[in-house]
Chains A and B, each alone.
Chain A
């Protein structure tokens, strides 16, 4: 059974990814494919790795911020 916190985390994740639906990803990949003269699936793969990198950077920065907050509250 899913806990309340798990459901809340899922909802929060869905809100944060509001503009990254499958259709949004397709549109972005199509744009990249045209701009870089590559096939759409290749563009989607590029987008995926770029997106993962961005997500990972933002989470790392958020973790630093939380650690700073913890240090300050001590």
Chain B
């Protein structure tokens, strides 16, 4: 495939991923967030937040591709667990009176919250999958039963019984 054709396709894929992120939308969001302050300041804050949000997503995507057999949830859980442990080590090194403890504890609480929400979604997904499996099992049993009854009826009609 020619290079520029490939670049076009990559561009389209990228545009689809950030289809909500249009200049007009950014302007409106920045104005709303500014609440009387400078909208350009809010826009800069939004740009930083977008960059910050994208970084771990690309790191997770890279891990998913590298490890192949891990799901996105498993990778995210591993990352959260690692971040939790790092923050725990930082906390242990800080004196009890350090003003940074609150900030680290707040980050830990945020990780805990995401972890719990991830666990919840995994449990919901597992329950849904089990329910689908059970549904499939009963459907197969029902079809077998219908087939057996039909054979029995056919045999009865044919005088074999």
Which A residues lie at the B interface, using CB under 8 A?
Answer: 1-2, 5-6, 8-10, 12-26, 28-29, 31-32, 35-37, 40-41, 43-44, 46-48, 50-55, 58-59, 61-67, 69
Contact = CB atoms under 8 A, between A and B. Distances in A.
Given A12-B49, A17-B20, 11 more contacts: A1-B102, A1-B103, A8-B33, A9-B49, A20-B54, A21-B72, A25-B61, A44-B58, A44-B65, A50-B13, A58-B18
Interface residues of B, number: 54
Sorted nearest first, the 6 A-B pairs with minimum C-beta distance are A61-B23, A22-B60, A62-B26, A13-B49, A25-B61, A50-B14
A contact face: mostly helix, strand, loop, or mixed = helix
A17 B55 CA distance: 12
B57 A59 contact: no
